Structure 1
Amino acid sequence: MTILRPAPAVQLHGYQQRWFLDRSRFKLGKFARQTGKTFTTTLEIVDDAFEHAMQERRTRWVILSRGERQAREAMQEGVFPHAKAYGMALEASEFDWVGDSGSHRALEVTLPGGSRITALPANPDTARGFSSNVFLDEFAFHKDSGAIWKALFPVISAGWKLRVTSTPNGKSGKFYELDTADDDVWSRHVVDIYQAVADGLPRNIEELRAGLADEDAWAQEYELQYLDEASSWLSYDLISSCEDEGAGKPEGYQGGPCFVGRDIGRRHDLHVIWVSELIGDVLWERERTEQKRATFADMDMAFDDVMLRYNVARACIDQTGMGEKVVEDAQRRYGGRVEGVLFTAASKLIMATQGKERFEDRRLRIPVGDVPLRSDLHKLRKVVGPTGVPRFVAERDDDHADRTWAIFLGINAAADLGRGAWRPVASGGGNTDHRDKDWIPA
């Protein structure tokens, strides 16, 4: 039977057409950022449902994304408009999918003929919960990708199709293993930014590269290089494990004690203020201020704003060089809550070690998908000099890991203080305004 498919909702570029028309059972796509990998794969999924409907049959697809937000976007920005373009009525629903790992919000559509498409966050539990065709979206960024794979593969072994797409995320994880394996099982597609633009994607490559201003990020996110993790202090996998959709949002502040890190920079480097709130024993990023070539007055105003809006228990400021006066002025205004930190080989080793331990223990939450921050964290490297003394370096571009050092300063502010409960102690005649409070362990 010949299936006459309608034209897709938008004109596909050459690389999208090749991916869409490849109906291999096992298909892996390594795509540059924002080149439409999710959009094109959800088009194939809807097309498959359309073909089954024309043959009076039904099919089943599950989309496993790195988080609930990404799963929802795959449905709302992919499946829904594609179904409309095909003239296929759909019934959409949401429900709590309950498994051994807890409850997960799932979105599901039912299409003509009874075909169903479900999207939900990926974990080993949801991976083994369905017998269906599967789309692993941004698989290199899935937590526990190896465990997800072990749970998933027996489920799809009975002839189901598997689609795996992602941008690289370092030389680790199941996506890296699948992409670099020497086999002929997988149909592999590679689309870097140069190929995408050559095939018609309207992007200004030089403008993108200059705007990103980070060669590591450009190499990984757009040129699809797997960066060497051997000398990086924080691997991309470790960084991704602490990303959370709730981090980086000031409106999420719950009124608890906060810890601030402030890295001083002016002409060549960034001035960064990092604010985290202690929830249990986890530091949640609430806000990050970045300034370049700002006056000292503007930098101090940004710091004062943070100190007024949050219950700051302690702030650690880079006191090196131009930071001497900055620390002195801040201590005059806020007293013992402000601590200056001189950047020496010893102090940087202590802060970097504390920071890495936070990442390894998952006692830190940073925003999801913040490319400059992720690249900044990854660029820090530990090297050993001729005297055997370790030191930390970062490649120079528009900054040298200023965001990372602001975070490490904030973690240092919470060191030895963040494992117990905290309570405010008012000073200055019992004034209850949090600006005049010190915080002490309860």
Structure 2
Amino acid sequence: MMETISSQKPADRSPAVLLPYQQRWMADESAVKVCEKSRRIGLSWSEAADNTLYAASASGDDVWYIGYNKDMAEEFINDCAAWATHYQFAAGAVEEEVVKDVDKDILTFRISFASGNRIVALSSRPSNLRGKQGRVVIDEAAFHDDLGELLKAAMALLMWGGQVRVISTHDGDKNPFNELVQEIRAGRKPYSLHRIDFDDALRDGLFKRICLRAKRPWSQAAEAAWRAEIVASYGDDAQEELFCVPSQGSGTYLSRPLIEGCLSTEIPVVRWEQSSSFAEKDDSYRYAVVEEWLAETLFPLLVSLDPKRQTVLGEDFARNGDLTVMLPLQETQAATWRSVFVLELRNLPFRQQEQILFYIIDRLPRFHHGALDARGNGQYLAERAMQQYGPERISQVMLSESWYRENMPKYKAAFEDKAVLLPKDADVIEDHRAFKIVGGVARLPETRSTGQDKRKRHGDVGIAGALAWYSTWQEGGEGWDFLPQSASRPISPVVRGF
């Protein structure tokens, strides 16, 4: 508890104890303002200064502060009390109050002013803002459990003249806080945006102020050494924690808007699954069933291809559990690559996957190159394809860190340049969003996602797409010129090197 603070004349709106970036933040009176910031620069402290002025004024209102833990709440309210003393405002003691919440009782803190207004620290449950009016401060917003709903609840206060302040360091590029920042930058949200990184704060005198408080001399050399020490202490996290660069480690490598710009509703996704007992049938039975399905389902798509345009193929293999995905691309007149279809196979025997792959490649006009996943069980099919079509046409790819490092930037550039076109399908999107930055390299983490059918996926279409794009970069072989006239007629292309 703190003692009651006596009443005296208010101080100036921008006290000299605040650094220029803190003063600029306070001077911005926008209804909604957002700040992406470095750690350790004292912005929440200056927000406490502004909130104290706001609540103490007869023309002000209540302030609702929302941090993500009890320590933040207590520290902020105590900072407000200290500012009230500095300003010589009349304020009551800091009070503790237990608020009944759905899951547990929440300890909150408050300070009241002679104006009749108060500053109250709340928990981050969005429902706590119902019926409230005044100013909402969401501190370290990126670390709240349900920031999206919290922002929605806070914005409702604007209807009656309220204000919203959102302050945070970053926590990944797909965090709702960063998405809010990007929405503002794109002009889709009419909010005020501030950006204060560690070097901005140093230029405005942060280290000089630290030296003043510590009663030690300032020098440029001492500041440079201190900066280097702080940056080193954050290691790999320095860019995010100090320089306002959201990490991609907890986000996706390919953003949804980037992917959605390269999708078409005219390209089909073909999905086929067999029961476990199918593998126990006779070879002739399995072959006949698959041949009939191919003729009915894939042949109409393959026969429609332009016989004069090059084609490539990427394949991600699985026998059970995950999916086998085959993704052929054909070059267009505009020198871009359009997916013929995406084929997803689940629980197909090895021999039938070979049958399907050969059927497709045999009917791809001017087939240039195919890249096949050669990890684990996939090595069998990749090797068989190489033997059938030659090593100049088939790459047996071991998906390693070095492969991802070299080839994923090229695949991302294909989306950025709108050089590839894929089916507009929810699972196609999510399989591409599954790529993460792991150790500085875009790749698939071990965790799996859930598809629209509620079954597990592991970025299968994303891998097939990346392998297909890899195929466009290969030298390839001489493509054969033909247009298949029959759905079932065997095609025997010239196999070079045999």
> What TM-score do the two structures reach when normalised by structure 2?
0.44
Provide TM-score, normalisation by structure 1: 0.49
User: Which structure is higher in strand share?
Assistant: 1
For the pair shown, which has the larger CA radius of gyration, 1 or 2?
2
